[in-house]
Amino acid sequence: MTAQPDQRITISVDAMGGDKGPATVISGMAKSAEKNPELGYILHGPEDELREMIARRRGGQMLLDRISFRDARDVVTMEDKPSHVVRHGKGTSMWSTLESVRLGEAHGAVSCGNTGALMALSMMRLRKLPGVTRPAIAILWPSRNPQGFNVMLDVGADVRADATDLLQFALMGASYARNGLDLPRPRIGLLNVGTEEHKGRSELKKAHEMIESFADRANFEFVGFVEGGDIPGNRTDVIITDGFTGNVAIKTGEGTASLIGDLLREAFRYSPLSRIASVLALTSLKRLQKRIDPRRVNGGVFLGLNGTVVKSHGGADDTGVSAAIKLAFQLAKSDFSEKLAARVASTVELAQDEVHFASATQEKQEGS
């Protein structure tokens, strides 16, 4: 579904399944709606309860005017196995949320629910793009880049990725960086345990070759192997890895940042002098906090599907939900989904041409 200029962008929102309940999701929707007059919603969950909840809010009527409802009684919990949800999840708000994207009623979907279930349902209902074997989840990570963030994928769609998957991640990540971070020729790095070409697992060496050979045609710069320290660094704009490594890396980074934050607060509580210092330092610290606040870049984007799905952090507050909605809006507005599909399709063709060319050349040589 392509967004027309002057047309309202509609985001399909799952009210349920987040750790903080539907009231937080609604607050996030209200925040985004206030800032953005182009935004409309389809909201999925127990309609009567949700309507009542919104009507009770200040300015609730205005928000209600921008929402269509789809009544869904069931909820996918964090404990539900993806395979179970795929078989029995038809009555859930998550299923219904994706259905609005599938039917073309909405330009993108946002859910705070169970990541595994959301990915499994998205693959089944929206289907993978032609040419994509394994979809991936991409996130933005605070970095030393001029744009302030790196793209990283996969951070948890699948625990495996072979060399071809990693190449597709590179193509999708480059496309995301062009549309999401406005980088015409993004730098792509492949995550490994060292930057020397002989290091790491064999599939990484193969992926290195494949990504390198596609760099010019797909209009990105391949910087080769990068290390964990480059995720918050400035050597690359996009970090390519499998979903197991990516997931561990971002959770380690988040945990480390949170530990430092707590220790910083503790340090400033230590003595009367440090308490005075903390008051004076407040604006500096707030500025820092804003710069690295994970809520501001909340939202993992599912890449490789027919449609845009943004997974918000399960524990997101209203600021986080609002950031995820904003991301879905931006991607819809830039026709990202269509551009990505075109990019992947053209690369699949290029790759096939190459194979045909190679075999044709070989046949010719064998024939001569």
Q: Contact region for its own copies (CB under 8 A) — 24-32, 207-215, 284-292, 334-342?
A: 284-292
Give the strands of the sheet with 39-45, arranged side by side.
67-71, 39-45, 9-14, 108-111, 309-311, 300-303, 136-142, 149-153, 238-240, 187-191, 221-226
Q: What are phi and psi of 92, to 5 degrees?
A: -85, 160
**Distance of closest approach, residue 141 Cβ to its own copies, in angstroms:** 9
- First vs last C-alpha separation in the chain: 51
Q: Binding segment for its own copies among 21-29, 188-196, 215-223, 345-353 (CB under 8 A)?
A: 188-196
| Residue of 74, 59, 65 whose CA lies nearest to 41 | 65
Report the interhelical angle of 318-333 vs 336-367 (nearest 10°): 50
Q: How many CB atoms lie within 10 A of CB 275?
A: 11
Asked if residue 308 lies in contact with residue 328, where contact means CB atoms within 8 angstroms, the answer is yes
From the list 33-41, 65-73, 250-258, 304-312, the region that binds its own copies by CB under 8 A is 250-258
**Residue 243 in the binding site for its own copies (CB under 8 A):** yes
> Per-residue contact track with its own copies, 57 to 96, x per CB under 8 A?
----------------------x-x---------------
Q: Does 196 bind its own copies (CB under 8 A)?
A: yes
- Residues 153-172, one symbol each (x = binds its own copies by CB under 8 A, - = not), give ---x--xx------------
Residue 108 or 294 with smaller CB distance to its own copies: 294
Map tokens 């044709």 to a residue.
Answer: 360
Residue 263 tokens, joined: 């220790």
User: Which position among 8, 73, 90, 144 is part of the footprint of its own copies (CB under 8 A)?
Assistant: 144
Which of residues 41 and 141 has its CB atom nearest to its own copies in the complex?
A: 141
**259 sits near its own copies (criterion: CB under 8 A):** yes
- Kindly state the smallest distance separating residue 91's Cβ from its own copies, in Å: 23
Does the protein bind its own copies through residue 288 (CB under 8 A)? yes
Q: How far apart are CA 348 and CA 368, in angstroms?
A: 30
Nearest CB to its own copies, comparing residues 284 and 365? 284
CB of 200 to its own copies, least distance (A): 6
| Cα 295 to Cα 317: distance, rounded to the nearest angstrom | 8
> Per rule CB under 8 A, is residue 314 in the interface with its own copies?
no
Give CA–CA dist 339/321, Å, rounded. 25
Q: For 15-125, list the strands marked E by DSSP.
A: 39-45, 67-71, 108-111
Contact positions vs its own copies (CB under 8 A): 79, 81, 142-144, 156, 159-160, 191, 193, 196, 198, 200-201, 227-233, 241, 243-245, 247-260, 262-264, 266-268, 270-271, 273-274, 276-278, 280-281, 283-285, 287-288, 291-292
